Chains A and B, each alone.
Chain A
């Protein structure tokens, strides 16, 4: 921490600054930004999934007292530091999977069929990780985002390599490594992964169109199925009799199919034939690549440009301006919790420029967004923007897990898996998260499920902290209860109670209570009541701490 602070201080002295922004005062900006603590908390929760330390918060607060320029330099330096942490990549996986929807819990066929004795939940996570590990690899190695569709390899650990039939590298260490398929398929990142096409299957008359639309949704943010079309009676009649010819001959149909079908034609090597045989569906068949002739009859291509193979298609996709815009939109929506509307394109323009001018580097894109005034906003000053800007964001289930486990040292695990990250228990969805299949968009308005999740998670964490911290025989240092012992009561040590409760709020929310706050007294009263009922300091402090952990400043940031 000391080194980090020195590093940040050096950055300030070197004159790094943001574009003119101010705290707690109106500027010519469209927004009023959060105070120093609020900005750093938001930055840390978004980039690392947890709150900053009190030392970090004090540092930016001190910098703010020296002026906007000092504060901005400190903020920017922290952003750069945290963009380099592993936790940042975890956050980006969460953000991009809101677009990819890969974490569905599906295994597609019994792992036992290929000799794997693995729990289905573990296997499902491995499967989803094939594309998501490529995203990690891309960001970790500062590769352009286009690598997601142009990589000449996939990603595998030994189990997924066996499951999907990949060659795991001989010098692999047992973890996730670049790996290649050996069934004759070309490689083009996510576009040639078995996981991708199991998640987005196609068979029969669908003729790979579902897959083409999945590519459009994931990488162009364009859902063909959302386009309004009107079919006249004659067209519907023709569709009934001879659907393929109707599609080719009708103008309304062609408004989508003229571009959709050539995209679909690139993927006949993946076309499925035996719906009952799970393993058969994972195979790529080079000999079937020309089967588009028997279905749509449309030559493989990408928006009018013929493509000879999937890598050529991928290159054309990556060079499409909409590919860049979609990546920018995905990250911007994920970090701002806003849904892009036409009026927002101007706000996105500098982020798109930063992304493009830095070779589609995801870190640079995020950096551009988190340094903007709109990202750091407390409230909008423009009436139009007020309706679109979220002055407070809602922690995702995994961010909530990160914040509480960082403060308390307690993680809410079930069978070795984090209940707020893995959706097997259904807790993540109840807390407003997604399951990749039935619930595909996050809920930003807390539900009764969120209220219950916060309550029970807080209780479990609080009890474990109190039980450990108040144990006179514990070996390590306390987690949170530094100021009281199991012997203390409000009567024999009122000062310790006051100090302890104030510290709990500071550690949990990142904000000190005001001098005249009534919470210490209220929670001391609560402690007395619980102690009178249960005769247990552990239970009494559990109740106090659980109340603090449910503070709105934990969920909202």
Chain B
């Protein structure tokens, strides 16, 4: 064997980085290391969920049409909609309420599907802004091979596209293990790992050299490629350890896979679509089964995380924050067709690490209209402010250790979500 290629990949990367650094060229900004950093599992119910189905119950008013046979459920400080068909939700809330915060009365700033999604996830309508999981992944202090994995659901990469990996359809895995070469119309054999490694090393060096010669945006793009070649090399080496041969199809499978990637330090954030047809203009009875199934699955995920060692904590549940949302809520009253239309007040479910649990925050009145709240306590207050998607987003980013003043300057953080 040529001694040139006997060095390990990590050795090469370290060596080349040191060489480039000494020459004033590019070198990696972050190190692969285990640092105590929270991970985030984002779940998105596309179509616009009915907030009254679970998160924002209203039984003392004629202004809201609640589902039949439902009652107010309470678990500690968490108030939710219970009922005959909601037993899994009762189980879930009873078991985990100390880690759960529900936030109601959030202004999504739009009741259009696309723009509502963008507002809820980025706080703005500007395409250059990345969504919360992308921000958290891109601005982390630790290098992750797959910083933000989009299993399914929306993604707004803004100018931070290099942090986002879309895993859809299993194609990422076929690319990772090379099996895609055998699937094409003119197939090619899968390259063996040692050969892959030395070719990767050569390419890495070429790209590093190229990046060092660029300026401004061109350099940013080239460095993005360089960082991601490094990530791809890391992943190729760890694909079997991480069980990346199958990302799963159901919400539960994908959520468990995401937690495994968190555990191994492969990812900081994941986005998974919550199954269900939530755009219930014609029939609102589709909401409950889909939302109940979500909490049933989430119960298993939380259970799993409570028994699984974390990446940087004793148990994964102390390291992972779960955020569930939709693009907007639905009207308080049923329309003539038994459905509910788009509504400009929304709810967000947050649970896990860094969250001040046992709380129901924000407030909507008997017409499902938000009232001002004190951002420190989350309780209604005539001297408070109306709560909007960007206030909640900044709180989530703060849980992740980011400085909100540097992300959306001037936006007030909804601090009630965080422990004092």
Residues of A whose CB lies within 8 Å of any CB of B are 203-205, 210, 213, 223, 225-226, 228, 231, 233, 236-237, 240, 275, 339, 379-380, 386-392, 394, 410-416, 419, 425-427, 429-430, 432, 438-441, 443-453, 455-456, 459-460, 462-464, 519, 522-523, 525-526, 528-530, 532-534, 539, 542-543, 546-547, 550-553, 555-556
Contact = CB atoms under 8 A, between A and B. Distances in A.
B348 interface: no
Nearest to B175: A452
17 contacts: A205-B341, A233-B369, A237-B367, A430-B172, A447-B228, A448-B165, A448-B231, A449-B166, A455-B200, A464-B186, A528-B2, A532-B1, A543-B191, A543-B195, A543-B198, A546-B199, A552-B225
Nearest to A550: B203
Contact of B218 (A391, A456, A519, A534): A391
Contacts of A551: 203, 206
B172 A452 contact: yes
Nearest to B5: A529
A386 B367 contact: no
Contacts of B235: 448
Given A240-B367, A390-B217, A429-B166, A448 B2 contact: no
A136 B281 CA distance: 38
A214 to B, nearest CB: 10
B4 A525 contact: yes
B12 interface: no
A411 B188 CA distance: 12
A246 to B, nearest CB: 12
Nearest to B159: A445
Interface string B197-211: 011101100110011
Nearest to A413: B185
Contacts, number: 232
Contacts of B203: 455, 547, 550-551
B48 interface: no
Contact of B181 (A444, A460, A522): A460
B110 interface: yes
B183 A339 contact: no
B206 A339 contact: no
Q: Which of A441, A460, A519, A543 has the most CB of B within 10 A?
A: A460
A474 B211 CA distance: 40
A438 B224 contact: no
Given A240-B369, A426-B169, A530-B195, A448 B145 contact: yes
Nearest to B189: A463
A445 B206 CA distance: 18
A435 B171 CA distance: 15
B161 A543 contact: no
Nearest to B367: A240
A225 B168 contact: no
B125 to A, nearest CB: 4
B275 interface: no
Given A339-B127, A449-B165, A532-B2, 6 more contacts: A240-B63, A240-B367, A392-B222, A445-B159, A463-B189, A553-B210
Q: Which of A228, A237, A439 has the most CB of B within 10 A?
A: A439
Q: Which of A225, A452, A533 has the most CB of B within 10 A?
A: A452
Contacts of B157: 441, 443
Interface string B367-403: 1110000000000000000000000000000000000
A526 B202 contact: yes
Interface string B103-124: 0000001101011000000000
Nearest to B220: A445
Contacts of A233: 369
B369 A522 contact: no
Q: Which of A210, A231, A240, A419 has the most CB of B within 10 A?
A: A240
Interface string B158-200: 0111111110110110011010110111111101101110111
Contacts of A440: 114
Contacts of A415: 185
A443 B148 CA distance: 14
Given A223-B125, A438-B154, A459 B218 contact: no
B17 interface: no
B331 interface: yes
Contacts of B185: 413-416
Contacts of A391: 214-218
A389 B145 contact: no
B111 to A, nearest CB: 9
Given A210-B112, A526-B198, A459 B215 contact: no
A192 B183 CA distance: 40
Nearest to B148: A447
Interface string B265-294: 000000000000000011000000000000
B228 to A, nearest CB: 4
A499 to B, nearest CB: 19
B308 interface: no
B318 to A, nearest CB: 28
Given A439-B155, A448-B235, A460 B188 contact: yes
A521 B216 CA distance: 32
Contacts of A528: 2
